[in-house]
Amino acid sequence: MTTNQNDTLHNHKWGFVDTAIVLQPDRTVTMTGNRYELSGTVMPEFIPFVEEMLGIKLDPRDTQQERTDKPIAEPIINEAFYQAVQQTFPATKYTLDPEERLLHSHGQTTADEVYPALYGQLERTVDMTFFCETEEDAIEIVKLAQTHNVCLVPYGGGTSVSSALKLPTQEQRMIVSVDMQRMNRIEWIDKENMRACVQAGITGRELEKQLAKDGFLCGHEPDSMELSTLGGWIATNASGMKKNRYGNIEDIVENVTLVTPKGVLNQLEAMPRLSIGMQPQKLLFGNEGNLGIITKAVIRIHRLPETKQYGSVVFPTFEAGVAFLYELTRAGITPASVRLVDNFQFRFGGALRPHATFTHAAMNRLQKLYLLRVKGFDPKQLAATTIVMEGSEEAVKQQAKQLYKLAEKHGGIAGGEGHGKRGYMLTYAIAYIRDFFLQYHVMGETYETTVPWSKIHAVCKAVLDEAEAQHKAYNLPGNCYVSYRVTQCYHTGVCIYFTHGFYAKGVDRPDKIFQQIEHKLRQVIMDAGGSISHHHGVGKIRKDFMDQTISPTSIELVKQTKQTLDPQDIFGIHNNIFAE
């Protein structure tokens, strides 16, 4: 990533205003700005690939126009609360501005939130935005909300894709969005014990930037790391692309501070590990805004790695790639990140390549000739892994040697460091591609799940079959698009990301149809042996599946915890088992 960037964010779409996917008059596609590996690239194969996969013809002139006069209802004002806020806080910490209210009234779930925010109308919007700057601010705003019976909704980076920020339509009280992004500092770094106390509103990008000044990193890299916050990671029980080396968020965090209506909840001291009986702070991971405001956390940090090396491997089939990952996990040489994409995503990655120079074109022909003619690979079956290795030079060198030897055993052929880096960095551009498609009537979203090793292929087939069946049942135009990739590996299974989309031109309320299909696909995933979610959380779009996930007694335990900490339902965002 480069400097001299405009870090202004899009108001309702994903990411930064200096970055967008743009269709050119000659039907090539480019990414504006200079922020990503794809930036500035002219992609001639992008549109032909999309048209082939979806079985449609995109018309450059036929776009959905974002509403410039976005409707918003007048705010519900609790006068006593509003007066108390005015008396307690400076005017810079709160606003009734309609644009801020709209911005804080949705996340990034395509059909449920982004589509109505851009092209329709949100059913419910927040009535005030409050900008929290200190833990004392959080404590005071909670007290005022209790006194005056106001609903508070914690807001981090706004990147949720589970409708966790979608506001309950039945809420009659004043709703206040508590924006945490001004709490974005590292309070202290303990260099000897390799830990840091970090405020919850810091984004992943800013966290790594600040830690790097002292030679450290956190290592938590979700796809949304530029925009999502530490508090959001804890609230959703998040995972990152380099979890193999640095752990998931529950492995990274040693202590959490949560401001609740009953008081501040945390451990008195952060420790490497504790055996103190039942640990209340474990309930904070995945709380999804239902219990309080996360203000800070003590996290484990690491020295910046001596070296980082990207890599890639092409496999004859997805099944061969899975077999490689299985043995790789057993061998104990799993790199910081290793991700396996299916044939559709492999080909889509090829469609994002720029115009090739004569030399590159010749090399590409030679590579294809070797793969297809010499090795006998079927171009409609190829799969590939992208790899990131970090550590000392010697350790990375040894890991690479073992890894590629194992890949060769499973029919894999090294694809080069350039392809590996490009594939890894592509993840930051996915949401921009989604927003590009949306304006051309193509709706798409990703679904993630955890799957035991033995059920990977059954789950993938079940989703493919059901997506096709639903596409026909709703008589949707063209073809449905479904692809998948394995993004994280564990001892007992993997995380699978599905990408699903369809062309919605001429379809009445495509957002509602997409919601219904997504719901059916999630049921199919669970019926075939997958989980409700790996790291996006439950929010509201997966609420119907909780009784298939935890027992009635477990649900009652969580409800009683909520009743104890928040008997007035001040934090009434109603996610997970609390959803309407």
What domains can you pick out in the chain, each with its CATH number?
79-181 (3.30.43.10), 189-303 (3.30.465.10), 307-429 (3.30.70.3450), 444-538 (3.30.300.330)
Tokens linked to 470: 């639903």
Q: How does pLDDT run across 181-231, given as a tens digit for each residue?
A: 999 999 999 999 999 999 999 999 999 999 999 999 999 999 999 999 999
Measured distance CA(76)–CA(95) in Å, rounded: 13
- With bands split at pLDDT 50, 70 and 90, how would you rate the model's confidence at 371? low
pLDDT of residue 363: 43
Q: Which two tokens stand for residue 362?
A: 């010749």
Cβ contacts of residue 67 below 8 Å, gap of 6+?
118, 119, 120
Q: What is the pLDDT of residues 381-401, one digit of tens each?
A: 999 999 999 999 999 999 999
Backbone angles phi, psi at 447, to 5 degrees: -125, 130
User: What's the predicted TM-score (pTM) here?
Assistant: 0.95
**pLDDT score, position 35:** 92
Residues forming a β-bridge with 178: 130, 154
CB-CB contact of 297 with 256 (8 Å):
yes
Model confidence pLDDT, tens digit, residues 527-544: 999 999 999 999 999 999
Residue 260 bridge partners (DSSP):
263
Burial class (CB in 10 A: 0-12, 13-18, 19+), 377: buried
Q: How far is CA 2 from the centre of its chain?
A: 22
- Tell me the per-residue pLDDT of 483-529, one tens digit each, with 9 for 90 and over: 999 999 999 999 999 999 999 999 999 999 999 999 999 999 999 99
Classify residue 98 by burial, with Cβ atoms within 10 Å: 0-12, 13-18, 19+: middle
Mean pLDDT of 29-37: 93
Q: Is 298 left (phi over 0), alpha (psi -120 to 50) or beta?
A: beta
**pLDDT > 70? residue 379:** yes
| Closest to 324 measured CA to CA, from 381, 415, 405 | 405
| Mean local confidence (pLDDT), 354-366 | 52
Question: What pLDDT digit, counting tens, does each position of 288-323 carry?
Answer: 999 999 999 999 999 999 999 999 999 999 999 999
Q: Say which residue, 362 or 73, is predicted with more confidence.
A: 73
Confidence band, pLDDT 50/70/90 cuts, at residue 435? very high
Query: Please, are residues 126 and 202 in contact by the beta-carbon 8 Å criterion?
Result: no
| DSSP track, 158-184 | S--SSSTTSPPTT--S-EEEEE-TT--
Does residue 12 have a pLDDT over 50? Answer: yes
Beta carbons of 168 and 123 less than 8 angstroms apart:
no
pLDDT of residue 123 exceeding 80, the answer is: yes
37-46, 167-176, 317-326, 387-396: range with lowest mean pLDDT: 37-46
Give the mean model confidence (pLDDT) for residues 154-161: 97
Closest Cα partner for 240 from 320, 291, 191, 302? Answer: 302
The residues, ordered by sequence, that sit 6+ positions from 276 with a Cβ below 8 Å of its Cβ are: none
- What ranges in 63-134 are assigned the alpha helix state H? 79-88, 98-103, 115-119
370 pLDDT above the threshold of 60: no
Rounded CA separation 323/550 (Å) = 31
- Reduced to 3 states (helix: H, G, I; strand: E, B; else coil), residue 553 is helix
Query: Which residue, 412, 453, 246, is CA-closest to 337?
Result: 246
The verdict on whether 119 is a catalytic residue reads no
pLDDT of residue 6: 83
Report the percentage of the chain scoring pLDDT > 70: 96
User: 447's torsion region: left (phi>0), alpha (psi -120 to 50) or beta?
Assistant: beta
Cα dihedral sign for 114, 119, 123, 126? positive
**What pLDDT sits at residue 373?**
57
Confidence of residue 358 (pLDDT cuts 50, 70, 90): very low
The pLDDT value recorded for residue 277 is 86
Q: Which strand (E) or helix (H) includes residue 319?
A: helix 318-331
Decide the pairing of beta strands 302-303 and 253-260: unpaired
Q: Give 356's pLDDT tier (boundaries 50, 70, 90).
A: low
As to burial, measured by CB atoms within 10 angstroms (0-12 exposed, 13-18 middle, 19+ buried), residue 359 is exposed
pLDDT of residue 365: 52
The mean pLDDT of 429-453, rounded to a whole number, is 95
Residue 107 tokens read as: 């996340």
Cα 321 from Cα 333, distance rounded (Å): 16
Q: Label residue 2 by pLDDT band (50, 70, 90).
A: very low
What is the reported pLDDT for 374?
53
CA end-to-end distance (rounded Å), the chain: 42
Distance CA 144, CA 88 (A): 10
SS3 261: coil
Mean pLDDT of the chain: 94
Report yes or no: 312 and 415 within 8 Å, Cβ to Cβ.
Answer: yes
* Distance, CA of 429 to CA of 19 (rounded, Å): 9
- The pLDDT of 236-260, averaged and rounded, is 97
Is residue 247 within 8 Å of residue 341, measured between CB atoms? no
Q: Which of 94, 310, 481, 497 is catalytic?
A: 497
What local confidence, expressed as pLDDT, does residue 129 receive? 98
Q: Residue 357 has which token pair?
A: 């120079």
